[in-house]
Structure 1
Amino acid sequence: MSPDGTLVDPYGGQEDLKAGVLRCVGEPKRRFEEDALRILRLVRFYSVLGFSAEKETARAAHEARGLLARVAHERVYAEMNKLLLGENVGETLLTFPDILGVPIPEISPCVGFDQCNYHHCFDVWGHTARAVAAVPPKRELRWTMLFHDLGKPLCRTFDEQGVGHFYGHTAISARMAEDIMARLHFEKVLRDRIRAQLACFDDMFRPERAAIHKEMARFGVETVQNLLYTKQADNAAKTPAGLERAQAPWHEAQKIYDELISEGACCSIHELKISGEDLAALGYRGREIGAVLARLLDEVAAEKLPNKPEALQARAVRLWRSGYARHTIKENETH
């Protein structure tokens, strides 16, 4: 700003903003050498703002990408969190995999890796980029989809027809995710959420009320909602042929999930209309109380038992008479 209040713009920044162009001031190579994080920041702006990268700036960023290896992991992590939430994240991941593969080298083997499977029309990285873009912009979802297929290049096998398979790839991907999260210093809360999503990523269940209710009781309400998001995103990033048929059960599952939420369905022991004190009054002691509460929740989630005080009390009495809790604890001790 000049003394008379006039905006001074010697590098044409206003025009670049209007045109949606990302451009380094001066010589791009020198700017990136001064602070290599600017390379990743360029990628982040590409994702968040949807701007294009000026030709020389983009070329210099690709050429200087190795400098990112010197950047502190915490700074990389901060940029990645913002990058992954961008509206243009899918195109960004497809455009800059070589740059992203420096701080996260597990990405590189996925780029161009042919899945050799009729369910997939994209290579592993092409599928991953589209799956990331297909989930809502929540960090645990975007990171989960970024991680979910990293293990595929390590475990591809072929059947007699030459079709590629990736048995056990989710478990391998989960282990790789643990390494990345430790290296980039993910905070514990986010790490636990991503770990929970990868743990149930391959779960299959019918779009039926009892099946979905049991999933919600097993993994938690939020984790199951995220699971439905990841299922739909994973399908959306595969071969378009047959997509509507593949998505139909998950759309139905989402509908049932929403109904259960609106009804206030019981999905945890704390939501049962019976307490540990109530069970103690019936004669249960110590670990017996936890065992019976878990059993009651299982039956409520399976839609076999209403979450009503009278019904739960009566069922607890029958379990007491059958010796269920005592037998269960003894069996667990022998195992």
Structure 2
Amino acid sequence: MKQGIGPTTLRLGALALTGGLVVSACSPSNSGTGAGVAGGEITISGSSTVEPISVRVGEMFAKSGGVLPSVEGPGTGDGFKKFCAGETDISDASRAIKDEEQAACAKAGITFTELRIANDAIAVLTSEKNDSVACLTFEDLYGLVGPQAEGVKTWSDAKAKGATSKLPNIPLDIFAPGTESGTYDSFYELAIKDIAEAKGVPENEQIRPDYGGLPNDNEIISGLQSVDSGFGWVGFAFAEASSGVRELKVDGGEGCVAPSAATVADGTYPLARPLFIYINNEKLADAPDLADFVDFYLSDQGMSAVSEVGYVPLAPADLQATRAVWQDAKAGIAKDAPAKDGVAKDRVAKTATDTP
């Protein structure tokens, strides 16, 4: 979804995990090329969840006299395809880059810097009229939409597929993201993957095979509004800004927790996640506008956009870690860091929320 720079109003939250990552390609001299900052243009593509933040930062940057960036949000996966083909300068992402995406960047000679910029969460939704469901366990989510849930047509059918709650015998209409979405990937990683692995399900089988995803959050919300007992998930900020749907509590093993800025920030909501931007390192040397934009993005003024559009800001220690990774990248440390399979493993910045 192409989006121009303009006012954006959303609300939201999420848990910070890592400060950032500087990546060196196996052959640094083979720099990625393509569309980008040549001629003063800054191109950004990727997550529709992160898009509102980048749009707002871009608006503020342009108002301060900087270049007006081009921002679009086709999805995290599609964004990385463009980024690793050298077609964009920055890739917005609602999940960390995958190994195969790192390999694609390395093959193209593209190195990057990963910067965590905000917190988000996944909101599990039902239709506004469905008051018979209040909380779902991870096992319930698996029974409803996991890889073994093919043929589940009512909420109560999920019991036979592993659901642990007593769910109502009402139609199950699913409206949720497509495979290109980082929100799809995050939902699988956070809620489904561990159960699937315990059951011996192959990793390439993620969501029920009879599932058809929707291309954007607007269509998901519209679908849920059109039925009485739908089920789906979107980013928390988008859910908070939407009407005609109900956000459900989620039980990740320690009781039912409702999504909120507070529960996402303190880590008690089990479907919290970090948000990222990825910077093409090769383009920094020849593109002062790009470096200036990222400087602005991580400044206090730029970071004010996170809460302005409704997301949960990073904790001070986490923001400091992100800024340190960016300063390292600008200083050229990324090009000197030892790399394996395109990834400088020792460049992961540990933060206050990391576990050893």
Give 1 or 2: higher strand fraction: 2
Q: TM class, shorter-chain normalised? A: under 0.3
Greater Cα radius of gyration, structure 1 or 2: 1
Give 1 or 2: higher helix fraction: 1
